[in-house]
Structure 1
Amino acid sequence: MHARSLLAVLCGLTLVGVPLSASGDEISGSLVIAGNGPELQTIEALARAFEKVHPRAYVDILWDENSKPVELVKSGRAHLAVTGTEDPELAATQIAWDGIAIIVNLSNFTKEVTKQQVADIFSGKVRMWSDLGGPETKILVIDRPRNQNIRDAFEAQLGIEGKIHNSAKVIGRDDKVIKTVVGTLPPLSAVAYVSLGQALAAVTTGVAVRLLPVDKVEPEMPTVKDGRYPLRRPVLLLSKKEPNPVVDAFREFALSDAGQKIVSEAYTPLAKKQS
């Protein structure tokens, strides 16, 4: 699989006129998937598996933290955008749920928070951990870049759009966020939100972070799947509404048992429909 830089695309690559064909089960042609969030590893794994199933299909991935995937699809420079928000001009297919974990340093003994308290923390209304039953330490808020899907969903679900204070430290990648929570001094102070899969993987490998229960619900894959855990966002594939054999085939593969198994390595797969 090849990954072209976003710069190359913006310098003139367009997809209009790229031949895409399908005859029976034989899918052939190019597929370009654009994104800017933490889903890259999952999309790469899906793309590699898709190409094995359809050897004449070629998947190109454009991934940049500062890109606008939806606009790339609308302009014809990508076939699929990986996002967490629907767009009325595009067709949307959900392939997973992404739980949004609230993480603190392992030594922070705050037991749990409510959804309202999370909103108050990140909007600056609560500034001390002691107000939440935690240590006598000022809260250091770690935010995510404004263009990332996880931030859009986080703000919308908490009703704090545009209210996260400018003094918050902004970090793009989940792994860097987790390292910052671990390494911040004093160690009790930092709080951040990251994709649940990344947070659970960090805990499993012994990284010194804790995931705070929200509204007395533990952040786990089953509670995200059934909606009990209140902070989650859909992982969506957006495309133009006209039929496209390769796009349709990739969406179907992502929703298949094989595709959902790949998705489940980092995200919460969709509940199976009852037949």
Structure 2
Amino acid sequence: MKKTLAFVLTAVMSLSLLAGCGSKTTAPDNTNNDQPQQQTEEKLSGSVSTNGSTSMEKVIGALSEQFMADNSGVSVTYDPTGSGAGIEAASNGSADIGLASRALKDEEKAGGLTETVVALDGIAVIVNAGSKVEDLSVEQIAKIFTGEITDWSEVGGEAGKISCIGREAGSGTRDGFESITGTKDACKLDQELTSTGGVIEAVAGNANAIGYASLSAVEGKDTVKAVTVGGVACTEEAVLDGSYAIQRPFVLVTKTDAPLSTAAQAFFDYATSTAANDLIKAAGAVPVAK
């Protein structure tokens, strides 16, 4: 009887030990490995500084506004200093992205800069709204700005001494205009102004003036008139198909061997994608992304 009782007690103790071991192996593990993984995506944040072409104001403004609306943690700034200053800002690192309304020169590329064309822009040749001149050839425009043609009567207008208005040295608009018309360093200007808006205002206030300005800045203005060039109007369609002669690129300038910040790269990618095409069109330029 004692042997039977001892056997039973031994069996009970063995079962208890097994139960205890089982409870240890099935106890919940409170380590982080068993916690649900977080699925939240990191929010884009930071600042993006752009600097350069005044002609790109509408384009860069529209792109920045939409990008910040889509990414509330990012601030995009724009400093309208002119193409030359924007290229220098990209080179010395004082801006994330430089803005130039001209192609980079070979020496600028050799100096470590990369250009990415974000849009095309026609350079409109503008006269006062009351002028009778409707069309000029590239050759006539060149002769006017170099002083070979000095009176409007020589090109079908009313008699009057022509007053040439242009941009300052270093302006992308000026560089583009002079390169296309073959008037580099030969223009004789009555006024050199530091902004596209300044040129438009000066031509609007002078019945005998002629100037040049970005297509996007001229559209909708009734104080100046864009003449046709060789019979072709300065329109988005004519710029895109190449039939309008006086046109130039809108360029994003970055350092070749220096990666952009996460926020700046995201803005760059957006600006050069097809998602930005409608905004670029609305700003008066011609998008190139396909």
Structure 1 length as normaliser, TM-score? 0.81
> How far apart, in 1, do the equivalents of 2:203 and 2:92 lie?
38
2:177 partner amino acid: F
* Unmatched runs of 5 consecutive residues or more in structure 1: 1-22
* SS at 1:134 equivalent: coil
Query: Please, which moves more after superposition, 39-48 or 81-90?
Result: 39-48
State the 4+ residue runs in structure 1 displaced beyond 4 angstroms.
23-26
Instruction: Say which SS state the counterpart of residue 119 (structure 2) adopts.
Output: strand
**Counterpart amino acid of residue 139 in structure 1:** I
Over 3 Å counting, the alpha-carbon distance change for 1:107 and 1:211 in structure 2 is: same
Task: Tell me how large the CA RMSD over aligned residues is.
Answer: 2.2
Answering whether residue 239 of structure 2 is matched by residue 224 of structure 1, we say yes
Q: Which amino acid aligns with 2:213?
A: V
Q: Which runs of 5+ in 2 are unaligned?
A: 1-39
Distance 1:56 1:200 in 2: 33
Give, as a single letter, the amino acid of the residue that structure 2 aligns with 1:243.
Answer: P
What code does the residue aligned with 1:178 have? Answer: I
Contact 2:219/2:284 (8 A) holds in 1 = no
**2:204 corresponds to which of 182, 191, 206:** 182
User: What's the counterpart of residue 103 of structure 2?
Assistant: 85
- Residue 19 of structure 2 corresponds to none
Matched ranges for 1:110-129 at <5 A: 110-129=133-152
1:243 equivalent to 2:259? Answer yes
Matches within 5 A, 1:1-275: 26-64=43-81, 68-83=85-100, 84-86=102-104, 87-88=108-109, 89-165=112-188, 167-184=189-206, 187=207, 189-202=208-221, 207-241=222-256, 242-244=258-260, 245-271=262-288, 273=290
How many residues are aligned here? 243
What are the superposed Cα offsets for residues 72-126 of structure 1, whole Å, 9 maximum, x if unpaired? 1111111100002223121211111111001112222123111111111111111
C-alpha distance in 1 between matches for 2:133 and 2:253: 39
Asked whether the equivalents of residues 102 and 192 of structure 1 are also in contact (C-alpha less than 8 Å), the reply is: yes
Deviation at 1:174, TM superposition (A): 2.6
Asked if structure 2 preserves the Cα contact closer than 8 Å seen for 1:119 and 1:160, the reply is yes
Q: How has the CA–CA distance of structure 1 residues 200 and 125 changed in structure 2, closer, same or farther, with 3 Å as cutoff?
A: same
Classify 1:122/1:135 alpha carbon distance in 2 versus 1 (closer, same or farther; 3 Å): same
The answer to whether the 8 Å contact 2:52/2:80 transfers is yes
**What secondary structure is seen at the aligned counterpart in 2 of 1:260?**
helix
Post-superposition offset of 1:271 = 4.4
Supply the distance in 1 between the matched residues of 2:87 and 2:61 (Cα, whole angstroms).
18
With 65-74 and 228-237 compared, the bigger mean Cα shift is at: 65-74
Any conservation in 1 of the 2:120–2:240 contact (CA below 8 Å)? yes
